[in-house]
Amino acid sequence: MNSRRYTVDLIAGDGIGQEVVPAATRVVDALARRHGFDMTWRDRNWGSAYFFEHGRMMPVDGIEQLSDGDAILLGAVGHPDLPDHETLWGLLIPIRREFLQYVNLRPVRVLPGVVSPLRDVEALDIVVVRENVEGEYSAVGGRAYRGTTDEFAIQEAVFTRTGITRVARYAAQLAATRRGSLTSATKSNGIIHSMPFWDEVVASVVSEVEGVRLRSTLIDALAAALVLRPGDFDVIVASNLFGDILSDLIAALAGSIGIAPSANINPPRHHPSMFEPIHGSAPDIAGKGIANPVGQLWSASLMLDHLGEAEAATALMTAIETAMSDGVLTADLGGTAGTQEFTSAVLRALSSGN
Ligand code: ATP
Ligand code: MG
């Protein structure tokens, strides 16, 4: 078995997903030739167009169709005429849950040519590890006495030792390969059952990983510190809700929503992991050829790294940074380059041998 052959499912999806996913496959194909691995793409025409024809976002056996692949590269799903819960619960959430992608990884750096709201942009180099399948996003709870003055709602958060342990272990091991600093987002002063439990389990897991310093920081203080002193942070581990908020905060510091990547990872590799930009289908600019492909390309770099092609993953990031330092920028970053032109600049940077 040649372990350097990869089968990747492509869900380009809607809007600019149809423009940025082809940019990513062009670049990954070029990397495959240079670095000597083999890519097989399986095109999936799922998403809103599929919904309008079939009444669902993906086929009934969609999960099964993806299950023997090595990874999933997703563009965006969303349509102005479809409610968000349809696209979320019809495609994204089933994939994350069925494939137990319990780590949501969002790295952030300020790439060349980007104007960040921060002054000290060199210092920003952070990875947020968000718990992706349990915690505050639970179905436990309910509402009563609807419409009366006695009406109330109860929303339970569900944290399990298994769930906290596995995400904390992933984050600690990641920190060990970086600058050795792990910050855990907590709120144990106000949330007195689940958060002390989170703190205890995280501390015990991290104590088993050599060379990692752990700080537990209250989520409110952490949000402020990220804006004031982003250079103090390396890897941050957070529950589902806290991680969601922190990763958007940090992505905003990095300059444009068109840049930010993400990975939904199943660390034991029993199932495929999924890689997607943070941005959505952007119907306002779809079809114009001006979308920034960096979020998708960076997500493809995370995918290559996950597949074990670390050299190609790094080469891709270097090529993106070269193109951007040379002043090739899309409109969201104040430039004039279109999606194709930017992608060609990345391909040129790759072939001029970095
Ligand atoms: P969806 O419903 O699919 O989430 P949306 O329009 O709500 O789509 P985004 O797609 O994230 O949300 O877009 C938010 C804004 O950012 C839009 O104005 C969009 O044009 C812009 N934007 C998003 N992605 C990019 C990109 N890759 N390049 C340039 N601009 C982008
Ligand atoms: Mg949206």
Q: Encode pLDDT of 219-236 as tens digits.
A: 999 999 999 999 999 999
DSSP character at residue 337: B
Which two three-digit tokens encode residue 127? Answer: 């990875």
**Model confidence pTM above 0.90:** yes
Specify if 51 maps to a domain.
Answer: yes
- Of 222, 254, 286, which residue sits at a domain end? 254
User: Among candidates 58, 51, 45, 135, which has minimal Cα distance to 92?
Assistant: 58
Specify if 46 maps to a domain.
Answer: yes
Residues 6+ apart with CB under 8 A from 177: none
Specify if 58 maps to a domain.
Answer: yes
Specify if 110 maps to a domain.
Answer: no
Residue 229: give its domain's CATH number: 3.40.718.10
289 in the same domain as 245: no
Residue nearest to atom 13 of ligand 1 (CA): 282
Which is the catalytic residue, given 187, 234, 305, 332?
Answer: 187
- In the structure, what pLDDT confidence band is assigned to residue 2 with cuts at 50, 70 and 90? low
Distances, alpha carbon 39 to alpha carbons 129, 212, 349, in Å: 28, 36, 21
Q: Output the CA 96–ligand 2 centroid distance in Å.
A: 18
pLDDT computed for residue 126 by the predictor: 95
Q: Output the CA 80–ligand 1 centroid distance in Å.
A: 12
Specify if 337 maps to a domain.
Answer: yes
Q: Output the CA 187–ligand 1 centroid distance in Å.
A: 32
As for the ipTM of the complex, it is: 0.93
244 annotated active-site: yes
pLDDT computed for residue 118 by the predictor: 82
Which is the catalytic residue, given 38, 68, 120, 220?
Answer: 220
CB 324 within 8 A of CB 298: no
**CB of 297 shorter than 6 A to ligand 1:** no
Q: Encode pLDDT of 56-76 as tens digits.
A: 999 999 999 999 999 999 999
266 in the same domain as 220: no
Distance from the first to the final alpha carbon of the chain: 30
96 in the same domain as 73: yes
133 in the same domain as 238: yes
Show the domain range for 219: 116-254
Strand partners, 8: 41, 71
**CB of 291 shorter than 6 A to ligand 1:** yes
Residues 6+ apart with CB under 8 A from 291: 16, 19, 20, 258, 282, 285, 330, 339
Specify if 111 maps to a domain.
Answer: no
- Of 254, 280, 300, which residue sits at a domain end? 254
- Of 228, 254, 280, which residue sits at a domain end? 254
pLDDT computed for residue 1 by the predictor: 45
300 in the same domain as 236: no
DSSP character at residue 113: T
CB 293 within 8 A of CB 129: no
Q: Encode pLDDT of 292-350 as tens digits.
A: 999 999 999 999 999 999 999 999 999 999 999 999 999 999 999 999 999 999 999 99
Number of structural domains (the chain) is: 2
Specify if 184 maps to a domain.
Answer: yes
pLDDT computed for residue 256 by the predictor: 85
Instruction: Indicate whether 13 pLDDT > 60.
Output: yes
